[in-house]
Structures are given as C-alpha cells and as structure tokens.
Amino acid sequence: MLKDTYERYAARLEKVVARRPGSRFAITHAMCQEGLRAFQERSVVVWANYHFPIEIITAFGFVPFLYEIAAGFVSSNGEARPFLEAAELRQYSRDSCSYHRVAIGGVLEGHFPPPAVALGVSHPCDGQSKVAEVVSQSFDCPYLLVDVPYDYSEAAVDYVERQLARVVGQLEAFTGYRLDEDRLRQTVRHANRLRELMIGVNELRKTVPSPLYGRAAWEFRFQAHTLWATERCVSLYEQHLDELRRKVERGAAPGEKLRLLWLLAIMNFAHDFFDMLEGEFGAHTVMEETNTVYWPEFDERRPLRGLAEKIMRNPFAGPISRRVDQAVALAKEYRVDGAIHMSHWGCRQGCGGVRMLADALAKVGVPLLDLDGDCVDDRNYSPGQVKTRVQGFIEMLQ
C-alpha cells in the first residue's frame, strides 16, 4: 500500500512541479522518490526513528526509512486507519502513539519495506525503541540502540560518540559495506550547509509579517529530513530560502494580525485548522520548536563527535528545562502573541511538560493554548471542539 501511495503521489506531483515550480511541492516530490527507493530490489534499507543521526545512513549510501515520517505521510493521504486497525487488532493499545501504531501496522500487514538493520536512540520516548524491537523481530534483522544520557556533559558526549563508532562498525559487519571517509566528510559538509540555510530561513521568519508560517513551514522541514545531508536537499533548501527572500522584498503574508509559536507536532491528516486560524483570525504560526537549529557546526575532522553533540543538545532530550528555555527564547525572538501546544494523543514526553511550558511563557506575557488531539489518527480529533477553544483563545489575545 505504501509503495502505491508513493507512486501515485509522485506522479501527481511531477505534473504540479512542472506547472508550478517551487520548493514546497518539489520537496514533497523528492521525498516520494526517496520513499520509492526503499522498495527497489537492490536497496539497502535502514529503519530509524526521527532523532537518529541520519547523516550516518546517508554517508553509507543506504536508503533511510524514517517510519515516523512515513506514518505522517500515510495519514496525510487519508490512509492511516487500516494501519492503525491492524495494530489494534493485535492488542496494541489506542493509548499509545499513533505514529508508532501506524509503523507497527505497516510491518504486520507487509506494507512497509523490510530493513537490513533497525537503528534508534533512546530519547525522547520509549515508544520508538519498542517499535524498532518489533521491526527487528518481525524481519529478523539486527537492532542497534544508542543510549543517550540524561544530563549533558563532555563525558556524556564521549559516551555517545563511542556508541556511534560502534554502530558504524556493526553496520559494516552486518551489510558488508564499508563507510567511505571522504563520503562521510562530504555528507557532513552538506549537513553544515543545511544548518546554515535553516538559520537563514529562521531569521527571515522573524520579519513582520512573516514570509513562512502554518502547515507549509512544518511540512517542509519534516519532509526534508528524509533527504537530509544530501546534495538534493541542499539545492531545495537554497531554493526555499531564495523564495522567502523574494517574499520579504515584496512584503510577504498580508493579513498577519497575531503571531503564534507552535509547540510539538501538527495534525497530518486532512483538516481545516490552519485555514481557520489564518483565514478567520489572521493568526499565523511564525515558528515551531521543531524547526530550531540547536546544534553547533560539525567539525569535518571529527564527524561522529559532531553527531554525538547534536544528539546530546536536542531540547527534547534530558530535563524539561531545555524545552522550556527554548520556548521562552523563541517567544521573545519571534515576538509572538501566544503559543499553541498540540498535545498529541499517546505522547507522554511531549504532553508531560505542558504545565511548565505554560507557566514559563506566562511569565513573559505569552498565553498558551493546550489542544488535546492526535497528529495521525483522525478518530481522536474533534474539529468542532477545537474551533470553539481556538475562538476563545484568539478572543483573549485580541
């Protein structure tokens, strides 16, 4: 089913990109093409969660299959329910994360590509680690988990770096492929260039009115992650930045009355939430916490050290104070009037910090709306209830 979805979407987007050249549709088209590579006979497919350093997989020349992104894509095409039900029929609870239930359902029903290896990191949640275990057992493939310490320190970075080196060695042993040092350095150069471009995009988004907001901002970064640290991704990000610069020069996004910060994830399935938010209220989400650049530039001479540093500096790892401090800083930098937290059903680590986020943002004059719902399973989303709560929140901000 997933392969058919990629093929249909890629064929449709190819016509759209030819008719309306632009980075937004081009990045989705490229993501679908990358997804189809996972179903090619000679491809070495490596499953990984969103927070594993994809640079390693890319440097090997393997095809990364990021199951959480695949789950979001399935949901955006209205095809998540069969995957969810397949997992639930086998006693996987609806209280668990729907991203992970889609992944498990895709495995159990044979719709997702078989991996040579499954990779993961232990943060930010236990669910993703358990998904990788299911994948490993279902396909009888190795599963390698990088253990991430709770507190940041040089010793902790050393510990993660050593584990990444072991992962590289084990990947070589399991697949028979050697990691080319020159290719790894080239991958790191691409990653550094993308970091620079992301910072450029984020700086432009501080403009009033912002040239990038809402679903378009979230989707571009989410989909680009599948292509991360490749020449193709760099080219699309350069195009993206250039388009935003031109928008700013023209005076972008008229109608911005309120500026909002978005916390956690967004709903992937079809909905009119952002049409309502932007069209009815002129409220634009001008920044998301998942779009921040929180890691330093990589040293090409020590790429694994840089990747370990990136893992350890993730605001979703370690104490909640990291996430809180980042949210407060973003609220100030982007001069937001309010914040919305999408409390994704089953996301314990995401939802558990809402009270502390709300209290900290309130101290700098930024009210927070906590929306209960689901980012993948539309059965856990109530449009009427959401609209009522948003209307009350906007009235308060106004």
d(CA 64, CA 58): 7
Q: What is the mean pLDDT of the chain?
A: 95
Do 357 and 223 share a structural domain? yes
Do 168 and 102 share a structural domain? yes
312: its two tokens: 């350890």
Do 213 and 351 share a structural domain? yes
Choose among 182, 188, 144, 183: nearest CA to 163.
144
d(CA 18, CA 133): 42
The domain total for the chain is 2
**Mean pLDDT value across residues 100-106:** 96
Do 124 and 20 share a structural domain? yes
Q: What is the pLDDT of residue 100?
A: 96
Which residues make Cβ contacts (< 8 Å) with residue 166, sequence separation at least 6?
Answer: none
Assign residue 102 the CATH number of its domain: 3.40.50.11890
pLDDT digits 0-9 by tens, 325-347: 999 999 999 999 999 999 998 89
CB atoms inside a 10 Å sphere around CB 153: 10
**Mean pLDDT value across residues 312-319:** 95
Do 265 and 170 share a structural domain? no
Q: What is the pLDDT of residue 31?
A: 96
Do 211 and 164 share a structural domain? no
Which residues does residue 146 pair with via DSSP β-bridges, in sequence order?
121
Residue 309 confidence (pLDDT) above 70: yes
Domain that holds residue 204: 182-397
pLDDT digits 0-9 by tens, 265-291: 999 999 999 999 999 999 999 999 999
pLDDT bucket at 225, cuts 50 / 70 / 90: very high
Q: What is the pLDDT of residue 156?
A: 98
Residue 254 confidence (pLDDT) above 80: no
Do 338 and 380 share a structural domain? yes
End residue of a domain, out of 163, 180, 197: 180
Q: Prior bond to 209 cis, omega within 30?
A: yes
Q: What is the pLDDT of residue 54?
A: 96
pLDDT bucket at 252, cuts 50 / 70 / 90: low
Distances (CA, A) of 330 to 145, 202, 343, 372: 32, 11, 19, 22
Residue 253 confidence (pLDDT) above 70: no
**Mean pLDDT value across residues 60-79:** 96
236: its two tokens: 């699309």
Do 286 and 147 share a structural domain? no
Q: What is the pLDDT of residue 58?
A: 97
Choose among 15, 44, 60: nearest CA to 142.
44
End residue of a domain, out of 141, 158, 180: 180
Assign residue 311 the CATH number of its domain: 3.40.50.11900
Do 213 and 172 share a structural domain? no
Do 241 and 386 share a structural domain? yes
pLDDT higher at 128 or 234: 234
Which residues make Cβ contacts (< 8 Å) with residue 378, sequence separation at least 6?
Answer: 75, 80, 81, 267, 269, 270, 271
Do 134 and 25 share a structural domain? yes
Q: What is the pLDDT of residue 20?
A: 84
Do 375 and 238 share a structural domain? yes
d(CA 66, CA 221): 14
Residue 240 confidence (pLDDT) above 90: yes
Return the half-sphere exposure (C-beta side, CA atoms, 13 A cut-off) of residue 79.
17
pLDDT bucket at 381, cuts 50 / 70 / 90: confident
Sheet containing strand 338-344, strands side by side: 283-288, 258-264, 338-344, 368-373
What is 354-390 written as a DSSP string?
Answer: HHHHHHHHHHTT--EEEEEE-SS-GGG--HHHHHHHH
d(CA 342, CA 350): 9
End residue of a domain, out of 159, 180, 201: 180
pLDDT bucket at 167, cuts 50 / 70 / 90: very high
